[in-house]
Every structure is written in structure tokens, then in C-alpha cells.
Amino acid sequence: MQIREVPFAAMGGIYEADDRAAVDRVVAAALDANGNFFPMPEENEFQTLLARHERARRVVAVNSCGTALDCCMMALGIKPGDEVITTPLTFVCTAGTVIARGARVIFADIDPVTLNLDPLKVRACITPRTRAIIPVHFTGLACDIEAFDRIASETGIPVIYDAAHAVGALYKGQGIGGRGQASCYSFQSNKNMTCLGEGGAVTSNDEAFAERVRQLKTFGYIYGGPTLRVASIGFNYRMTKPQYAVGITQLNKIDRVIRLRQERMVKLNELLADVPEIIRPAGHGPEHGSHLYVVRLDTDKVRFGASAFIGHLKSKYKVGTAKHYPPVWSWEAFQQLGYTAKGCPLAEKICAQVVSLPVFPRTTDEDLHYVAWAIKQTIRDLN
């Protein structure tokens, strides 16, 4: 095959003329003599549409998944001395939000098939100090939500899902947004939809919890009485009017984007079926949020590591990849706080094997065939 470039694209979704028109409308209105970027009816519309899409009673849109997680930790009153259990196979901010409250992160091990947090391992980590559990729907594959529901109802410990990868994901045919205490979404540029580069949301079926998050997001404001009240400290975690406007147009096309991604991930899964050195991801199909396609290099079957594999794919075959993720404990900041791989041997092994392959809505059939070929060649070259 002829060498071609298949980059790991920065933009995860599709940005089109309707998105641009949505921004133009907001900016054009602001050019008017009485123009302004407030009020923002787009905010409510976006929240209503997202609630319907994710099947949650309430949505509070915020400016990132990081702030969504922060709001949830604050709404739960997480404080020094508390423990919060999460997965080591995640973006740094899932655990960072716990550290930011002065609490201790407890890493529980992952399921080697789904790569999601293993509910049985979580149970073994629960202590009298456990105040929350944060499972991540890694790559867009929903966690074992029923198992976490059981833990929550038996122990009273709230579950906050990190759904940064999982807009549109289904669990047993149902939307995930109303499950657990709350779920936190990301609309940052790499994700399957974006609100002009950044964005996030907290979804919940608990009205009181959602209201607390809403207050945290907007200076602690309490509306609805004869006068505006501020009864607790809040912040400004709002998106801007153009971002809400684009969130609406992005939501209008998210199902199409996910379908395109799903088809391509299923196809690449088929193309890699005859490569024994590659462990293919589980769960790709109609229920998968299809944000990432993450394979594992079976390091028991080859004489090289994932870094050499990634380097060779890029330098010789011009195939871009990404790493989701190094284990959270390996970041310098977590090392300094004394975090280690203790108790998570599977995550330790698997994090060293994971490679995210380039699959996007605009990835072509030729790209997929080329990537599968380049992987086979790389294994032959290096072995």
C-alpha cells in the first residue's frame, strides 16, 4: 500500500454551516444598537434539548466537564478527610476534582474487558470515609450502572458518573443522563460535539441536587422569590451565548455524528480481527457512545512496547495515535502526593498497552484499511 497520512484529528465532531450560522445570528444581534450577549434564552433551550437527549430530568450546562465535576464535589460537600473512589484509567481531572476539595482519591482496579471501573473492586475499597464514587464511561462504553446502583442503595454512597466521553451512549437501551446522583459531560473540542471548543454539563434526576449545582454555577443566585437571594457562595461557570447557540446545532446532529463514528469503529474492529497481537475493545456497536477506539497491544505476544509501536506507526506509516491514558497516579502531581499503582495491577498493565487509533466522522474506508494494514506492517517490522 502507498504511504498516506492519517492524523489523530483534534476535532472529534462535525462543525458545519448551521453551526456557523448560529454564531453569526448571536453576533449579528449584538451589533444592534441595543444588542447584548444577555439574556441567554439559548441556555435553557440547550439544557432542555440535552435533558431530552440524555434522558435526565434536569441539566445544568457549565463551561467544562472539569467544572461539572467540581460542582458535583462541592454540592456533595466533599472535604478534607473524605475519600472518593475512581478509576486510574482516566483523564487527570476526574481525580483532580477530588484533590481540589482536599480529599483523598482511592483508585480501584478496572475490568480487563470493558476497561471501566470494576464494581467489585470498588466495594473492596469502601471505608467509613468514602463519600462518593466516580466511575467513567471510558471511551463512551457505559459502565455497569446497575451494579453501581446496588452499591449506592446498599451503602448510601452517591455515584457521580464522568460521562465526558459518553454523550449519546446507552445502557441496556436507556439514556445514561439520569443515572446515579449525577453525570458530568464534556463538550470540549475533541469530543463528539463541542460548544465552540469548550463546554460541559451536569445531568441529574435529583431536582434539589441540580438546583444546588445551578447555584454554584451562577454566583449562588437563588431566583424566584420577591428579591434575588444569595444564600451560599457560588462562581461563574457559565458558557457564553454563542456557545449555547452552537450547543443547540451540535445536538441536532449528534446522533448522525455518533452513527458515523460507530460504523467506522465497528469496521476497524473487523479489519483487526486477524491480528492476534492486538486486543480489540469490547462493546463497539449501537449502544456505544463511540468517542474513542482504544486497542491494547498484547505485550505478552510481542517483543516491543506500546511506545515503540506508536512511534513506528507515526514515523514510518504516518498514522497518528493518542494515549488514553497514562494511569492517573503516574502524573508528577499525584506522585508527589504519594499515589502509586497499589491495588490496581490490571490498570497498571493495561495503561501500558493502550493505543487510541484515529477514527473520526470524516475517516474514510480507505483510511481504515490503511490503518489496519499499517498496524500489521508495524508489528512485522518490530517483532
Ligand X SMILES: Cc1ncc(COP(=O)(O)O)c(C=O)c1O
Among 22, 74, 93, 108, binds ligand X (CB under 6 A): 93
Retrieve residue 153's grid coordinates. Answer: 442503595
**Contact residue for ligand X among 46, 60, 61, 66 (CB under 6 A):** 66
CB distance 224 to 272 below 8 Å: no
C-alpha 150/C-alpha 156 separation (Å) is: 10
Tell whether residue 176 is a contact of ligand X (CB under 6 A). no
The least distance separating ligand X from the CB of residue 81, rounded to whole angstroms, comes to 25
134 binds ligand X (CB under 6 A): no
Distances, alpha carbon 99 to alpha carbons 3, 197, 339, in Å:
45, 26, 12
* Listed ranges 19-27, 39-47, 107-115, 159-167: which one lies at the site for ligand X (CB under 6 A): 159-167
- Comparing CB distances to ligand X, the nearer of 53 and 312 is 53
Among residues 130, 186, 262, 290, the one that binds ligand X under rule CB under 6 A: 186
The amino acid sitting at 159 is V
**Binding of residue 350 to ligand X (CB under 6 A):** no
Q: How far is the CB of 22 from ligand X (least distance, A)?
A: 20
Whole-number minimum distance, CB 164 to ligand X, in Å? 3
Q: Which cell goes with 171? A: 445502557
Query: Using an 8 Å Cβ cutoff, are 20 and 372 in contact?
Result: no
By CB under 6 A, name the one of 59, 108, 117, 164 that touches ligand X: 164
What are the backbone dihedrals phi and psi of residue 305, each rounded to the nearest 5 degrees, phi first? -100, 175
Q: Is 70 in the site for ligand X (CB under 6 A)?
A: no
Among 47, 86, 87, 94, binds ligand X (CB under 6 A): 94
**Shorter beta-carbon distance to ligand X: residue 114 or 378:** 114
Residue 188 binds ligand X, judged by CB under 6 A: yes
Residue 162 touches ligand X, criterion: CB under 6 A: yes
Residue 117: which of 80, 144, 81, 140 has the closest Cα?
144
Is 348 one of the binding residues for ligand X (CB under 6 A)? no
Name the residue nearer to ligand X (CB basis): 103 or 134. Answer: 134
Question: Per CB under 6 A, does 64 bind ligand X?
Answer: yes
C-alpha cell at 70: 467540581
β pairing state of 293-297 and 354-357: antiparallel
Residue 136 binding ligand X, by CB under 6 A? yes
DSSP string, 316-332: HH-B--B-S---GGGSH
Does 90 help bind ligand X (rule: CB under 6 A)?
yes
Which listed residue (40, 65, 89, 132) binds ligand X by CB under 6 A? Answer: 65
| Number of residues binding to ligand X, judged by CB under 6 A | 14
- Cell representation of residue 247: 450547543
Q: Report how far residue 13's alpha carbon sits from residue 318's, in angstroms, rounded to the nearest whole number.
A: 22
Positive or negative: CA dihedral 110, 288, 202, 178 = negative
Q: What's the grid cell of residue 243? A: 456557545
Phi, psi of 122 (to 5 degrees): -60, -45
Binding site for ligand X (CB under 6 A): 64-66, 90-91, 93-94, 136, 162, 164-165, 186, 188, 200
